[in-house]
């Protein structure tokens, strides 16, 4: 597959690319993150990884009429170079046999980075490939973030309970009660009372396996929140882990046959899920679409586990 075909394929799935820097970084990540051979060799330069051959190929593709190069003047009089695929370029792609792996991987990188601004993309490259920033003229604009291993793991958070002081617990209980009344959620989530609760150990074990799967998704949510450095990260992250903490207590109540504890944790879980949905709705405009999708998957998984427990209790 030719270098030019890689560029045309990238423009096909991106729709358009604003700026030479963004074009350079996307091609660089195709090589580094997705292990696709593009035919371009990158060196550390003024704005990070750079390949002069890429710029020459863009000029040539524009001369052939395969791409459209437009110069836009921004508010600060800076020139923005916008690239788009033309009908002739689309025809050229159709006439070339594109390997399926290239087509799929280019779709993947476009899906992953399409909503990134130039600054976010440069920041991502600088954090993950610092060896390409040694000649950067803008390195001071990008403050380093903590590496992933510096974050506290979910297991550590859950194993060091209690992690909140009693005064906060009391305040939180009051907030949950207020939210429960405001949202019209019943304090007795189960449809009828259970006087004698006894569940088979094998079923309990299966429920804990499901719980661990959801916990893995919680850790994935936490990682995305921290990597993207969202200002809302702490609030959303704490809410997700608090829900999983309640679910852990709920499963413990089920295992011990504690009917009152089961009722209480059911209500708390449902209330906090509703509160998490409100948080997502409040901050949705600033959250990456992949993260929003992951958060809603987390909510659906927790609700499915709740429904499963509800069903098992009444069998």
| Percentage above 70 pLDDT, the chain | 81
Contact 106, 29 (CB under 8 A): no
More confident residue, 231 or 9: 9
| Percentage above 90 pLDDT, the chain | 24
Peptide bond into 162 cis (omega under 30): yes
**pLDDT bracket for residue 157 (50, 70, 90):** very low
pLDDT, residue 208, reads: 87
More confident residue, 165 or 51: 51
CA distance 66 to 79: 22
Report whether pLDDT(167) > 50.
Answer: no
pLDDT, residue 67, reads: 94
Segments of 129-271 assigned E as strands: none
Report whether pLDDT(87) > 90.
Answer: yes
Q: What three-state secondary structure class fits 54?
A: helix
Report whether pLDDT(151) > 80.
Answer: no
pLDDT tens for 176-229 read 566 666 656 554 444 444 445 566 777 788 888 889 989 988 888 888 877 777
Contact 58, 141 (CB under 8 A): no
Average confidence score pLDDT of the chain: 80
More confident residue, 288 or 62: 62
More confident residue, 314 or 231: 231
pLDDT tens for 5-38 read 999 999 999 989 988 999 999 999 999 988 888 8
pLDDT, residue 25, reads: 94
Cα 311 to chain centroid distance, Å, stands at 32
pLDDT, residue 174, reads: 62
Class of the CATH domain delimited by 3-143: mainly alpha
In a 13 Å sphere around the CA of 135, the CA atoms on its Cβ side amount to 9
The set of residues, in sequence order, having a beta carbon less than 8 Å from that of 206 and lying 6+ positions away, is: none
The set of residues, in sequence order, having a beta carbon less than 8 Å from that of 63 and lying 6+ positions away, is: none
pLDDT tens for 247-303 read 998 888 888 888 778 878 888 888 888 888 888 888 877 888 888 888 989 999 998
CA distance 54 to 65: 17
Structural domain boundaries of the chain? 3-143, 149-313
pLDDT, residue 201, reads: 75
Report whether pLDDT(153) > 60.
Answer: no
**pLDDT bracket for residue 150 (50, 70, 90):** very low
In a 13 Å sphere around the CA of 167, the CA atoms on its Cβ side amount to 0
CA distance 175 to 78: 50
The set of residues, in sequence order, having a beta carbon less than 8 Å from that of 240 and lying 6+ positions away, is: 218, 221, 222, 276, 295, 298
The number of beta carbons lying within 10 Å of the beta carbon of residue 21 is 20
Length of the chain: 315
| 142-154 mean pLDDT | 50
């Amino acid at each position: 597959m030719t270098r030019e075909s890689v560029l045309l394929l990238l423009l096909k799935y991106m729709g358009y690319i604003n700026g030479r820097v963004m074009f350079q970084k996307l091609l660089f990540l195709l090589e580094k993150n997705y292990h696709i051979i593009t035919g371009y060799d990158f060196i550390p330069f003024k704005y990070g990884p750079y390949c002069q051959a890429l710029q020459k190929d863009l000029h040539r593709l524009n001369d052939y009429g395969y791409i459209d190069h437009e110069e836009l003047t921004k508010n600060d009089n800076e020139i923005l170079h916008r690239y788009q695929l033309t009908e002739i370029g689309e025809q050229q792609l159709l006439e070339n046999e594109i390997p399926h792996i290239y087509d799929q991987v280019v779709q993947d990188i476009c899906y992953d980075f399409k909503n990134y601004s130039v600054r976010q993309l440069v920041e991502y490259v600088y954090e993950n490939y610092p060896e390409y920033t040694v000649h950067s003229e803008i390195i001071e604009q990008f403050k380093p973030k903590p590496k992933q291993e510096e974050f506290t793991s979910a297991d550590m958070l859950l194993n060091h309970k209690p992690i909140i002081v009693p005064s906060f617990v009391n305040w939180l209980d009051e907030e949950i009660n207020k939210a429960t009344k405001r949202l019209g959620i019943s304090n007795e989530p189960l449809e009828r009372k259970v006087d004698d609760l006894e569940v088979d150990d094998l079923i309990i074990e299966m429920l804990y396996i499901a719980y661990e799967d959801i916990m893995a998704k919680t850790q994935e949510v936490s990682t995305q929140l921290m990597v993207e450095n969202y200002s809302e990260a702490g609030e959303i992250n704490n809410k997700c882990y608090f829900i999983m903490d309640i679910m852990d207590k709920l499963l413990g109540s089920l295992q011990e046959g504690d009917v009152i504890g089961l009722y209480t944790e059911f209500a708390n879980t449902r209330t906090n899920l509703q509160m998490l949905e409100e948080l997502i709705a409040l901050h949705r405009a600033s959250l990456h679409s992949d993260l929003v999708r992951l958060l809603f998957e987390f909510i659906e998984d927790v609700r499915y586990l709740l429904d499963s427990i509800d069903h098992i209790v009444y069998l």
